[in-house]
């Protein structure tokens, strides 16, 4: 085995090294590097970088969870980091760990200290297949903004978070432009069941992009365009949705565009009571799920 590895071209050895690279568990990579003296010398610089990355990941885990090693983080099914003073750099580092957290199912972040670009940098580091088991992602009072929402959309488009069912973005400063950017990626998530946008400044334009996307240019609208076909809960409390947005919701529900929806929250929005009532009061509405 050692002889066979030593005969591989250097660029192939580097590719194998990168495929084995794990910031939370560098032992396998180091063992691979020791297969021959030539390989050990060839991988010296990346091994030193891997060691630095491992120490940075361990420091993040100690800061956020008080743990002394990366093993618990590597095996954790739930991570709940509430007001741990996480910085933008910390969230970027967390993003790089997305490919080496195969067991993680629930990620809750309450990180107001991360700054305006923290979530954007986290999302930019999430590659294809990152966070493969996560079904629940909650960013609570953590700045996302329109730029962060756009970066999250790009991450989803690359195939990150493929099993996501619950997405909560409460009080994250997402406006219409952010939701317009994010909506197509959300509609492509096959398992999405719950969306929470409470406390964001988004309004009618963003809502329309989410629940009533326009047909492709030149194409006639079909009788019913079903979107978010598994979505059961949609929470929009404290947003800027007006009567026009309520009319969009009512039309979507009347046409069964949201066939699985049974729970909808519109508390604290500027729409009139009459407009909100119109969303709930027609037949085949939330108490009468679509076929």
pLDDT value at position 47? 74
The reported pLDDT for the residue numbered 1 is 42
Q: Is residue 289 part of a domain?
A: no
Q: Tell me: do 178 and 226 sit in the same domain.
A: yes
**In a domain? residue 286:** no
Residues 201-244: tens digit of each pLDDT: 999 999 999 998 766 556 555 555 568 999 999 999 999 999 99
Identify the pLDDT of residue 23.
Answer: 67
Q: Can you give the pLDDT at residue 53?
A: 79
Q: Which of 13, 42, 75 is the last residue of a domain?
A: 75
* Domain presence at residue 288: no
Domain termination residue (choose one: 30, 60, 75): 75
Secondary structure of the chain in HEC code, one letter for each residue: CHHHHHHCCHHHHHHHHHHHCCCCCCHHHHHHHCCCHHHHHHCHHHHHHHHHHHHHHHHHHHHHHCCCCCHHHHHCCEEEEECCCCCHHHHHHHHHHHHHCCCCCEEEEECHHHCCCHHHHHHHCCCCCCCCCCCEEEEECCCCHHHHHHHHHHHHHCCCCCCCCEEEEECCCCCHHHHHHHHHHHHCCCCCCEEECCCCCCCHHHHHHHHCCCCCCCCCCCCCCCCCCCCCEEECCCCCCCHHHHHHHHHHHHCCCCCCCCEEECCCCCCCHHHHHHHHCCCCCCCCCCC
What pLDDT is stored for residue 34 in this prediction? 65
Q: What is the pTM of this model?
A: 0.85
Q: Which residues of the chain have pLDDT under 70?
A: 1-21, 23, 26-36, 38-39, 42-43, 50, 67-69, 214-226, 282-291
Is residue 291 in some structural domain?
no
Q: Domain of 168: which CATH number?
A: 3.80.10.10
Whether residue 126 is found in the same domain as residue 264: yes
| 129 & 70 share domain | no
138 and 269 part of one domain: yes
User: Does a structural domain hold residue 114?
Assistant: yes
| Residue 5 forms part of a structural domain | yes
219 and 141 in a single domain? The answer is: yes
Residue 32's pLDDT is: 59
Last residue of a domain, one of 75, 108, 127: 75
Is residue 121 situated within a structural domain? yes
For residues 183 and 62, membership in a common domain is answered with no
Is residue 219 located within the same domain as residue 258? yes
Domain that holds residue 16: 1-75
Domain tally, the chain: 2
Same-domain pairing of 142 and 194: yes
Claim to verify: residue 35 and residue 120 sit in the same structural domain: no
Task: Verify that 49 and 110 share a domain, yes or no.
Answer: no
């Amino acid at each position: 085995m050692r002889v066979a590895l030593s005969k591989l071209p250097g660029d192939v050895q580097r590719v194998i090294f990168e495929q084995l690279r794990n910031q939370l568990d560098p032992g396998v990579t180091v063992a691979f590097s020791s297969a021959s003296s030539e390989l050990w010398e060839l991988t010296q610089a990346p091994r030193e970088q891997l060691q630095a990355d491992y120490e940075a990941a361990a420091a993040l885990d100690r800061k956020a969870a008080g743990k002394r090693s990366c093993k618990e983080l590597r095996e954790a099914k739930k991570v709940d980091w509430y007001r741990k003073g996480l910085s933008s750099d910390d969230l970027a580092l967390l993003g790089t760990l997305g490919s080496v957290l195969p067991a993680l199912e629930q990620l809750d972040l309450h990180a107001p200290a991360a700054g305006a670009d923290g979530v954007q940098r986290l999302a930019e580091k999430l590659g294809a297949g990152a966070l493969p088991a996560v079904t629940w992602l909650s960013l609570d009072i953590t700045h996302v903004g329109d730029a962060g929402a756009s970066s999250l959309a790009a991450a989803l488009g690359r195939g990150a978070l493929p099993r996501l069912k619950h997405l909560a973005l409460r009080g994250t400063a997402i406006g219409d432009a952010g939701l317009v950017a994010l909506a197509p990626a959300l509609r492509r998530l096959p398992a999405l069941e719950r969306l929470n946008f409470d406390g964001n400044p988004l309004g009618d334009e963003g809502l329309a992009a989410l629940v009533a996307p326009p047909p492709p240019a030149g194409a006639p609208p079909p009788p019913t365009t079903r979107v978010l076909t598994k979505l059961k809960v949609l929470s929009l409390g404290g947003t800027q949705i007006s009567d026009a947005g309520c009319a969009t919701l009512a039309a979507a529900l009347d046409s069964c565009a949201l066939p699985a929806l049974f729970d909808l929250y519109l508390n604290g929005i500027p729409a009139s009571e009459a407009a909100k009532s119109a969303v709930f009061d027609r037949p085949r509405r939330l108490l009468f799920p679509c076929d």
